[in-house]
Structure 1
Amino acid sequence: MRLAGRGAAPLVPLLLVPLVLAMTGAGAQGAPATRAASAQEIASFDAFRRQGLGVDGGGPATFEIRREGGRWRVDASVDGLASRRLRGLCRMDRAAFHYDGRNWSASGAAAPLAWLAGAGACAAPAAPVRLVPGAPDATIAGLLEQQARLLLRARLLFAGNTACAALRSRDFTLTAIDYGVAGAGADALALYALVFHGGRGVARVWVKNTGRELSAWSVACAPA
Structure 2
Amino acid sequence: MRKVLLIAAALASGALCGSAGAAKAAKPAQVAQQREPTTEERASFEAFFSARQAAVPQGPWATRPLFAPAFEIDRESAGKPWRVIARMDSAPRRSHPDLCRQIRSSFIYNAKAPEGERWQDAAEPPRWHVWLATPTVPCAAARYTTLQDPKVADVDAVALLRQHRDLLGRARLLFAGHSQCAPYRALTYRLAALEPAAPVAGAPLMLGMVFESDRHAVARVAVRKSGGEYTAWNVSCTG
How many Å apart are 1:74 and its aligned residue? 2.4
**Letter aligned with residue 65 of structure 1:** E
Q: Which runs of 5+ in 1 are unaligned?
A: 1-26
CA-to-aligned-CA distance 1:135-159 (integer Å, 9 cap, x gap): 2222111100111111111111112
**Greater per-residue helix proportion:** 2
Match of 1:114 among 122, 127, 130: 130
Q: 1:78 — aligned with what? A: 88
Moved over 6 A (4+): none
Gaps of 5+ in 2: 1-27, 113-117
- Partner Cα separation in structure 2 for residue 166 and residue 68 of structure 1: 38
| Counterpart contact for 1:207–1:214, Cα < 8 Å | yes
Partner-residue secondary structure (3-state), 2:235: strand
Identical pairs, percent = 33
Q: Which of residues 198, 207, 212 is equivalent to 1:192? A: 207
2:109 is equivalent to residue 99 of structure 1: yes
Q: Give SS of 1:157's match.
A: helix
| Greater length-normalized contact order (CA 8 Å, ≥ 6 residues apart) | 1
Larger deviation, residues 117-126 vs 171-180:
117-126
Measured against aligned partners, the alpha-carbon deviations of 1:51-95 in whole angstroms (never above 9, x if no partner) come to 205532241343242545335432222222332255632123222
SS in 1 for 2:180: coil
Is the radius of gyration larger for structure 1 or structure 2?
Answer: 2
- Residue 207 of structure 1 is matched in structure 2 by 223
Alignment of 1:148 with 2:165, yes or no, is yes
Contact 1:36-1:63 within 8 A present in 2 as well: no
Instruction: Give the TM-score of the pair, scaled to structure 2.
Output: 0.70
What is the aligned length? 194
What do you get for the CA RMSD once the two structures are aligned?
Answer: 2.6
TM-score (norm 1): 0.74
What secondary structure sits across from 2:198 in the alignment?
Answer: strand
1:69 correspondence with 2:76 = yes
Structure 2 distance, partners of 1:149, 1:80, is 31
Change (3 A) 1:189 1:220: farther
Higher strand share: 1
Tell me, in whole angstroms, the C-alpha distance in 2 between the residues paired with 1:177 and 1:106.
24
